[in-house]
Structure 1
Amino acid sequence: MKLTVFGATGGVGREVVRQALEAGHEVTAVVRDPARLDVLAHGRLRVAVVRDLTDEDALVPLLAGREAVVSALGATSNKQARLTPVAGPALRSIVSAMDRAGVSRLAAVSAAPLAPPTPADGVFARVLVLPLLRRVLRDVYADLAVMETAIAASDTRWTVIRPPRLLNRPWTGAYRRAVDANVPGGRVISRADVADALLTTLSDPSTSGHAIGIAT
């Protein structure tokens, strides 16, 4: 599969690039600083430097001829999200550029606190953990909410992945999934497994149009 990966220098994005290359995909990694992409040079890897991800005209050539797009974009802190939102503005331009380039499949990472609360979350999570996270990281989640709205309103065949707290642990492939909900009792997951989930959904049409909760 020919993929374009946004957010390729982040913790999840680097794993997406690495795993995609190992799986035999062709990858265009879109970055602002190529020095941060600590993936070895590869015959199926193209690195494209784009400073402004809201510049549709710059994005279209990076999407032409691609079969799918993976976004691992997101603010690194609440302050950054407040001052310069990342995911929302970028995804509005990305989905529009995808339409112009004729690319329809999209997988994007979001976050578990954006899922609506359900009894399966448990009282502790519903009453304390999730409300606290939503308050402390309100600008990060506001940015991701704008992103999810832009994606849902697009003509793409989209899947949003909503993980809980991310850890730098090895890939396992042994995580749980929940459709349009959080995984009951799910508190953590490795960045490597989030990358696996993003790539796996691309070839799973049953996930199209859904937000998938994942956790170990």
Structure 2
Amino acid sequence: MRLTVFGATGGIGQEIVRQGVAAGHEVTAVVRDPARLPVPLSDVTVRTVARFDDPEALREAVAGQDAVLSGLGAPGRKADGVAERLTRAVLAAMEAESTRRLLVVSAAPVAPHPADDPLLDRMMLSAIGAILKEVYADLTAMEAALAASATDWTSVRPPKLTNGPLTGTYRTVYGSNPRSGRSISRSDVAHAMLALIDDPAALKQGVGVAY
């Protein structure tokens, strides 16, 4: 498949690029600094942009692609609307080029709590949500933009991210989160995103992933 990756130098984005290339996909990485890519530049098509919030600057990168995968978002607690703003630019570029499939990274607290989640897990998720309130508000607004778009989107919602290895073994829940799901590696989030590209059950859905 022809894939475009936004946020390709971030923790999850690097893994999407690495695993996508290893799987034989034609990967286009949209970056500010190509030197931070995790694979030899000969293995990927690189689109260098100065601003990710300019849809016109992104159109060439998404034109004719089978899917777009995004790890764009706030790097810390001060979200400042980053995920929503940048995702809206990606959506506008995709709609202008009639590119439909989009997968983004969100977060577990954006999803409804599983009905059978233990009280301790509910309390932990609520506490984390309070600490990162601004980040999750930004991700909620991003998901609202997805829902209002014409794309075939999927929002992948991991809990705590780790730098653990790729295992390929994790739980996936459509429309909610795995029960007592507390962590997952960035490598496995990337693996899940690639696996969900051609999964019709994931279209226009939030998907929880966790160990």
The TM-score range, normalised by the shorter chain, is over 0.9
Partner in structure 2 of residue 13 of structure 1 = 13
The separation in 2 between residues aligned to 1:59 and 1:173, in whole angstroms, is 31
The structure 2 residue matched to 1:111, chosen from 103, 107, 126, is 107
Secondary structure of residue in 2 paired with 1:120: coil
2:195 equivalent in structure 1:
200
| Residue identity (%) | 49
Mapped pair 1:60 → 2:55: no
* Residue 2 (structure 2) aligns with: 2
Residue 145 (structure 1) aligns with: 140
TM-score (norm 1): 0.94
How far has the Cα of 1:54 moved from its partner? 1.4
1:206 and 1:64 mapped to 2: Cα distance?
Answer: 25
Q: Which runs of 5+ in 2 are unaligned?
A: none
1:30: how far off?
Answer: 0.8
Moved over 6 A (4+): none
> Would you say how many aligned residue pairs link Structure 1 and Structure 2?
211
Q: CA deviation at 1:51?
A: 2.1
SS of the aligned residue for 1:150 comes to helix
1:159–1:208 contact (8 Å) kept in structure 2 = yes
Shift of 1:205: 1.1
Gaps of 5+ in 1: none
| TM-score (ref. length: structure 2) | 0.96
More deviation, 134-143/114-123: 114-123
Task: Work out which of the residue numbers 127, 131, 156 in structure 1 matches 2:126.
Answer: 131
Q: Counterpart in 1 of 2:46?
A: 47
* Alpha-carbon distance in structure 2 between the residues aligned to 1:13 and 1:200: 15
CA RMSD of aligned residues (A): 1.1
Within the alignment, does 1:24 sit opposite 2:19 as a pair?
no
Alignment of 1:84-103 (within 5 A): 85-103=81-99
